[in-house]
Amino acid sequence: MASVERLCPVCNKSYLADPGRLKHGRQTTCSRECSYAFRATKTADANRGRLSPLKGIKSGRPAWNKTEGIHINCKTCGVDMRIEPNQFGRKKFCSKACFFAGRELKKLFGKGVEHPAWKDGLSLNQYPSKFNVTLKRKVRERDGFLCQLCGMTEEVHVQKFSRALTVNHIDFDKNNCEETNLNTLCLPCNTKINWDRPKWTAHFKEVMQNG
């Protein structure tokens, strides 16, 4: 097919173009440089006065240290540390030094009755039948579906841990299922209070008495 003569829309120079390529919107300028300039002009004209649909919207996953995360205490030094939700239950130390110190300390402890934190095997006892789904929901509803220590909502808790908030026995007696002995906690806080049971038992009893 014979070439046709055209005027370049950018520099107004005459050039020969292939009709077949013109048919598909190609070879509309005399050179690559003019093609880039022409496309830039078309884009600017098309977007003039139009707001970008992505303006003000951050896409993609936020940086790991920009999310809310979870705050726990280092098992060795006790310092407050931030971890990701998927690290809960796995990351327990704030540094390698604390990790190795904790590992050495663990070697000094025996298992079962030989461990200094042994509580006559209370953790092995089964929960009574009255500590059921209905009772737990009633307690969570009474507490407004909020952790009574950090204030985490059940909605956020489900997003982070894929489960509802936990219901805690204030005096740590599994058989005492009176509603006045139960409160709502998130997983991190439920773990935290086990390290100083007398302190948190007294704290929560005072909260319950004061309403």
Residues 155 and 73 in one domain: no
The stretches in the chain having pLDDT less than 50 are 54, 56-59
Residues 167 and 207 in one domain: yes
Task: For residues 12 and 98, give the distance between their C-alpha atoms in angstroms, rounded to a whole number.
Answer: 73
Residue 51 resides in a domain: no
Q: Kindly tell me the sign of the dihedral angle through the C-alpha atoms of 179, 184, 187, 193.
A: negative
Residue 153 resides in a domain: yes
- Predicted confidence at residue 70, as pLDDT, reads 83
Residues 205 and 137 in one domain: yes
- The number of C-alpha atoms within 13 Å of 188 and in the hemisphere containing its C-beta is 28
Structure tokens at 146: 């909020």
- Predicted confidence at residue 60, as pLDDT, reads 52
- Predicted confidence at residue 57, as pLDDT, reads 45
- Predicted confidence at residue 181, as pLDDT, reads 94
- Predicted confidence at residue 136, as pLDDT, reads 95
- Predicted confidence at residue 121, as pLDDT, reads 61
Domain containing 202 equals: 121-211
Residues 76 and 129 in one domain: no
- Predicted confidence at residue 58, as pLDDT, reads 47
Residue 47 resides in a domain: no
- Predicted confidence at residue 154, as pLDDT, reads 93
Residue 54 resides in a domain: no
Residues 20 and 93 in one domain: no
Residue 162 backbone class (left: φ over 0; alpha: ψ -120 to 50; beta: rest)? left
Residue 116 resides in a domain: no
Residues 104 and 133 in one domain: no
Residues 179 and 130 in one domain: yes
Task: For residues 174 and 130, give the distance between their C-alpha atoms in angstroms, rounded to a whole number.
Answer: 10
- Predicted confidence at residue 120, as pLDDT, reads 64
Number of domains into which the chain is organized: 3
